[in-house]
Structure 1
Amino acid sequence: MNWGILGAGSVAQRRVMPAINALEGHAVQTLMVRDACRARDLAASHGASNGVSSVEALLADETIDAVYVSSPVVHHRDHVLAVAQAGKHVLCEKPMAMSSDTCRDMIEACNNAGVTLGTCYVLRGWEIYQRIRDLIRNGDLGTLIELRAHLAKWTPREADEWRLDPAQSGGGVLIDVATHYLDLFRFLAGEIVRVAYMGSSRVFDWPVEETAHALVAFESGCHGSLTATCTVPNGGNLLEVYGSEGSLFLGKTLRIVRGDDVVEEVVVFPDYYSGILTDFAHCTKTSNTPIASGLDGLRGTQIVEAAYQSAREQKIVTVISVG
Structure 2
Amino acid sequence: MSIGFGLIGASSIARDVMIAAIRSHPNCEVKSVFSTNIGRGKQYALENNIPKAQESLEDLLNDDDIHAVYISTTNELHHQQVLSSARAGKHILCEKPLAMSLDEAQEMISICKDENVVLATNHQLRVGDGVRKMRDLIAEGAIGKPLAARVFHAVYLPEHLQGWRLSDPNAGAGVVLDIVVHDIDTLRCILNAEPEEVVSLSQHAGMATHKKVEDGNMSVFRFDNGLIAQIHTSFLIKYAGDGIEVHGTEGAVSINNFLGRELSGPVTLKNSEGEQHFNSTQNSIDEKTINLFIDAIKGGTQPGCTGEDGERSLAAAIACLESAKTGKCIKI
Q: Is the TM value for this pair above 0.5?
A: yes
Residue by residue over 1:45-83, the C-alpha shift from the partner in whole angstroms, topping out at 9 and shown as x without a partner, is 323221223211211211111101111111111100110
Tell me what 1:302 maps to. Answer: 315
- Distance change in 2, residues 1:134/1:280 (3 Å): same
Maintained 8 Å contact 1:118/1:292: yes
Runs of 4+ in 1 over 4 A off after TM superposition: 156-160, 265-269
Maintained 8 Å contact 2:151/2:242: yes
Structural RMSD (CA): 1.9
| Offset of residue 164 of structure 1 | 2.6
| Offset of residue 265 of structure 1 | 5.0
Residue by residue over 1:209-238, the C-alpha shift from the partner in whole angstroms, topping out at 9 and shown as x without a partner, is 111111011101111110011101233211
Unaligned runs of 5+ in 1: none
Q: 1:201 aligns with which of 194, 199, 204?
A: 204
How far apart are the structure 2 equivalents of 1:293 and 1:149? 22
State whether structure 2 residue 255 is matched by structure 1 residue 250.
Answer: yes
Unaligned runs of 5+ in 2: 257-264
How far apart are the structure 2 equivalents of 1:52 and 1:266? 43
How far apart are the structure 2 equivalents of 1:13 and 1:100? 29
Tell me what 1:235 maps to. Answer: 240
Residue by residue over 1:280-303, the C-alpha shift from the partner in whole angstroms, topping out at 9 and shown as x without a partner, is 111112223323111111111111
Where do residues 5-154 of structure 1 align in structure 2 (5 Å cutoff)?
A: 5-154=7-156
3-state SS of the aligned residue for 1:43?
helix
Maintained 8 Å contact 1:156/1:204: no
Segment drifting more, 10-19 vs 94-103: 10-19
Maintained 8 Å contact 2:166/2:215: no
Where do residues 253-272 of structure 1 align in structure 2 (5 Å cutoff)?
A: 253-259=266-272, 261-264=274-277, 267=280, 270-272=283-285
How far apart are the structure 1 equivalents of 2:175 and 2:162? 16
How far apart are the structure 2 equivalents of 1:290 and 1:177? 21
Maintained 8 Å contact 2:33/2:45: yes
How far apart are the structure 1 equivalents of 2:70 and 2:107? 18
How far apart are the structure 2 equivalents of 1:307 and 1:122? 21
Maintained 8 Å contact 2:145/2:249: yes
| Offset of residue 149 of structure 1 | 0.6
Identity of aligned residues (%): 27
Maintained 8 Å contact 1:18/1:46: no
How far apart are the structure 2 equivalents of 1:266 and 1:116? 32
Residue by residue over 1:69-127, the C-alpha shift from the partner in whole angstroms, topping out at 9 and shown as x without a partner, is 11111111110011011111111100011110010111111111111111111012212
What is the TM-score of this pair, normalised by structure 2? 0.90
How far apart are the structure 1 equivalents of 2:38 and 2:218? 41
How far apart are the structure 2 equivalents of 1:256 and 1:3? 40
How far apart are the structure 1 equivalents of 2:140 and 2:103? 36
How far apart are the structure 2 equivalents of 1:44 and 1:166? 29
Aligned residues: 319
Segment drifting more, 170-179 vs 160-169: 160-169
- Distance change in 2, residues 1:49/1:267 (3 Å): same
3-state SS of the aligned residue for 1:141?
coil
Maintained 8 Å contact 1:15/1:272: no
How far apart are the structure 1 equivalents of 2:79 and 2:159? 25
Maintained 8 Å contact 1:31/1:52: yes
- Distance change in 2, residues 1:53/1:237 (3 Å): farther
Segment drifting more, 104-113 vs 34-43: 34-43
Maintained 8 Å contact 2:66/2:90: yes
Q: 1:183 aligns with which of 182, 185, 210?
A: 185
